[in-house]
Amino acid sequence: MAMNVLGRISIARTILVPLAIILATPVFFDSFRLTTLTTAATYFITALGFNIVFGYAGTISFGHAAFALLGAYTVALGQYHWEWSFGVGAVVATLLCVVVGVVTSVPSLRMAPFAIAVITLLYLAALNSSIQYFKSFTLGGDGVPAFPAELGTAQQWYLVTAVAAVAWLFCRNLIKSPLGRSWEIGRVAPELAESLGVNVPRTKLAAVGISSGLAGLAGAMWPILNGFTSVETFTLSYAILILVIVVVGGQASVNGPVAGSIIVAAITLGLNEKFASGGTVSSLAYAVIVLAVVLLAPGGTVELVNRLWSMLAGRFRRPPEGAAAEAAEEAPVEELIERTMPETAGATLEAKGVSWNVGAARILDDVSLVARPGTVHGLIGPNGAGKTSLLNCVCGYLEPSAGSLTIAGRPLTGKPSKRSRSGLSRTFQHPALLDHHTVLENLMPGIDSHRRATYAEYLFRLPRAVRERRAMREETERWLEVVGLGGVRDHEARTLGPGQRRQLEIARALATRPQVLLLDEPAAGLTVAELRTVERIIRAVADRGVTVILIEHHFDLVLRVCDEVTVLDAGRVIFRGTPSGAARDETVVEAYLGTDSTGHETMKDAH
C-alpha cells in the first residue's frame, strides 16, 4: 500500500504537476513575458543535450551553439528554397546535426579534454565562415527571411514546451538505461568501465551525437517562432548561457537543466522588468550566480535540494561497519551464489613468457602461469613483484613486450572492453565506486554487462527491456544479499566503510557472470568477519566452475582458499605449486614470508 502511494506521488510530481504548470502559464503571463519563457524553453532543449555530453559523458564540448545555428539555418533554408513544412525541417535539422556531430567528433575525441573544448569552440567560426562563403545559397550575412508559423504566443508556448517535454523524457529514459550508466561510470572511472565491457569512446560518441541532435532541434524552433534567421542569432554568448543553465541547475542530474532554465528565465524576466536593456546586467547577474553556485553548491541547485532531502530522509547515516559482515556471515552465501550465478564451464587462462618493460626497467620477466576452471590460483609475492602489472597485461591496460595470453585456447587481444566481453572480470586495489549513487545503482553496471535488450528498447521502454530491467533488479538484490549489503541498498556509496566498499566491488565483479575472475587484494581493509565472508564467496564461486586468480597478502587466506599458487619476485616466477609447498620453500620464505633473526617465518609485506 505504501509503495502504491509513493508511486502515485512520484507520477504526480513527474507528470501531472509540470503539465498543470505548462497549461496554466499563458493565463498568468502577458505576451511579452510568455515569449521570453518560450525562448527559455528552447534553451532548455539545448541544455538537455549539453548536460548529457558534459555532465554525464564528461566531454567538454562547446559545439552546441554551432549545431543550434545549423538547425536554424536548415529549417530556414529548407522553407526558403523548397517550401518545407516546419515539421519536415525540424526532423531534417535534427538528423543532420546528429550526423555532423558524430563525424566531426571521431578525431577530436582521441584528444585531451581541453583540446576537445578548443576544437568545438571553432565549430561556430567554421560554420559562420561557410555561411558567408556560400552566399548564393545561404544569403550570407543578410540572413534568411523564413516565415514564422501562424501561431499565437500561447500556441507557440505549447508547441515548444511539448517538444521540450518529449526531449526531457527521451533524455530521462536514456540516463536511466544501461547507456546512461555507461556514460557515468566511463566519466568517473574509465578503467573500471572498460573492465565491465563498456567501450568508453563509443559511448562518448553516442553522447555527442545525441547532444548535437538536441541542439539542432532547439535551433530548428527559431524560424518557427521568429522567422528571420541570421548568424547573429547563435553566438558564443549562446554557448555560455547554456553552460550557465547546466552548471546552475546541476550537471549530471536529470532535472538540472529544468532548474537551471527556470532560474535563468526568472533572472531574464526580472532584469527586463527592472532595466530597459538588461544585456550587460544579465551577464553580470549570470556571473555572480555561477560563482555562488560553484562556491556554495558545486553540484548545482538540484544536488543541494537532494542533499537536504537525503539528510531529512536519513540516507546519510553511515551504516554500521559490522552489520553487513554479520548479515553476510549468517546468510547462506553458498546457496545464494548457487541461485544467482549460473553454473559455468569456466575458461583456462594461460600466460606464456609474458614480459613487460618500462624503458630499461623490466617489470615482468618471462612470466608464465596456467589458471584452470573451478580452481583458485593464488598470485602472490612482495610489494612491487609485478602481480598487478600481470593482471593489467591480462586485461589489456598494458601491452606485454613479449609473450602471449590466451583464454580457453583463444588469443587474448584487443581493448579491455573486448577482453571483458570474452569472459574476464576483475576488481581493483582501490575500489572504484560512484560515490553519489546508491549501493544498488553501483551494482547495476555489472548486471548491464550481460543484458540482451538494445538501447532503443530501453529508450522506448519496450516489453523486453521492461522485463529484463525487472529481472536485473531482482538479481541485483540477490548479489547484495550475498555480500550482506541488502540492508543498505538505498544508502549512497560514500557512506560505506572500507570493508563494505570492497564487498560492493566484489559483488559487482561477480554480477558480470565471468568465466575468469581476477581479484586484486580483495581482503584489504576487511574485518575478520568480512574476511570470512569473502573466503566463502571465493570458494563458492570456484565451485560454480569459475576460474579465480587471487592476488593477496593475507597468506593464511591463500593457504585456506587457493588450490595452487604462483609466486613472483622482482617480476620473475620463483615458485609454482601448492600453497603449503610455497610456505615450505626457502626461496619463497626469504622473498615473501621473510624470516626473523632467530630463523622463524614472518609475514613480510602481509597485512
Q: Cell digits for 423?
A: 569472459
CA separation for the pair 475, 479 (Å, rounded): 6
Cβ–Cβ < 8 Å for 441, 490 = no
Residue 540 φ then ψ, to 5° = -70, -35
Residue 344 and residue 229 share a domain: no
Residue 130 and residue 12 share a domain: yes
Average pLDDT over residues 276-293: 68
Residue 363 and residue 219 share a domain: no
Residue 359 and residue 219 share a domain: no
Number of domains in the chain: 2
Q: Is 358 exposed, middle or buried (0-12, 13-18, 19+ CB in 10 A)?
A: exposed
Q: What is the DSSP string of 24-88?
A: HHHHHS-HHHHHHHHHHHHHHHHHHHHIIIIIIS-----THHHHHHHHHHHHHHHHHHH---HHH
Give the pLDDT score at 142. 83
Share of the chain above pLDDT 70, in %: 90
Residue 144 and residue 14 share a domain: yes
Residue 300 φ then ψ, to 5° = 90, 175
Among 55-59, 60-64, 160-164, 297-301, the range scoring the smallest mean pLDDT is 297-301
Report the chain's mean pLDDT, rounded to a whole number: 86
- Hey, which of 17-31, 212-226, 483-497 has the most confident mean pLDDT? 212-226
Give the pLDDT score at 2. 44
pLDDT in tens, 31-88: 888 999 999 999 999 999 999 999 999 988 888 999 999 999 999 999 999 989 889 9
Residue 230 and residue 368 share a domain: no
Answer with the residue of higher pLDDT: 28 or 307: 28
Residue 50 and residue 170 share a domain: yes
Residue 15 and residue 117 share a domain: yes
- Whether 274 is covered by a domain: the verdict is no
CA separation for the pair 176, 184 (Å, rounded): 11
Give the pLDDT score at 286. 72
Answer with the residue of higher pLDDT: 54 or 146: 54
Query: Where is the domain boundary, 202, 235, 268?
Result: 235
What stretch of H or E contains 249? helix 236-249
Residue 153 and residue 44 share a domain: yes
With 70 as the cut, is the pLDDT of residue 434 above it?
A: yes
- Whether 604 is covered by a domain: the verdict is no
Q: Cell digits for 297?
A: 553548491
Residue 337 and residue 464 share a domain: yes
Query: Where is the domain boundary, 215, 235, 255?
Result: 235
- Whether 375 is covered by a domain: the verdict is yes
Residue 437 and residue 334 share a domain: yes
CA separation for the pair 390, 395 (Å, rounded): 9
Confidence label for 346 from pLDDT (cuts 50, 70 and 90): confident
Give the pLDDT score at 425. 94
- Whether 312 is covered by a domain: the verdict is no
User: CATH number for the domain including 472?
Assistant: 3.40.50.300
Give the pLDDT score at 342. 81
- Whether 255 is covered by a domain: the verdict is no
Closest C-alpha among 315, 378, 94 to residue 218: 94
Confidence label for 246 from pLDDT (cuts 50, 70 and 90): very high
Can you give the residue range of the structural domain that contains 127? 2-235
- Whether 430 is covered by a domain: the verdict is yes
CA distances from 470 to 253, 447, 476 (A): 23, 12, 10
Hey, how many other C-beta atoms are within 10 angstroms of the C-beta on 282? 19
- Whether 259 is covered by a domain: the verdict is no
- Whether 224 is covered by a domain: the verdict is yes
DSSP state of 590: I
Query: Where is the domain boundary, 235, 265, 288?
Result: 235
Helix pair 153-175, 200-226: axis angle to 10 deg: 170
- Hey, which of 91-105, 128-142, 476-490 has the most confident mean pLDDT? 91-105
CA separation for the pair 103, 97 (Å, rounded): 10
Among 168-177, 341-350, 384-393, 579-588, the range scoring the smallest mean pLDDT is 341-350
Give the pLDDT score at 603. 42
pLDDT in tens, 449-468: 889 999 999 999 999 999 99
Give the pLDDT score at 6. 44
Query: What b/e sequence results for 552-569 when a residue is b if at least 16 CB atoms lie within 10 Å of its CB, and e otherwise?
Result: bbbbebbeebbebbbbbb
Give the pLDDT score at 91. 96
Average pLDDT over residues 292-320: 71
With 50 as the cut, is the pLDDT of residue 598 above it?
A: no
pLDDT in tens, 477-517: 989 988 888 888 888 898 888 888 999 999 999 999 999 99
- Hey, which of 208-217, 433-442, 449-458 has the most confident mean pLDDT? 208-217
Q: Is 30 exposed, middle or buried (0-12, 13-18, 19+ CB in 10 A)?
A: exposed
Residue 228 and residue 333 share a domain: no
Cβ–Cβ < 8 Å for 382, 584 = no
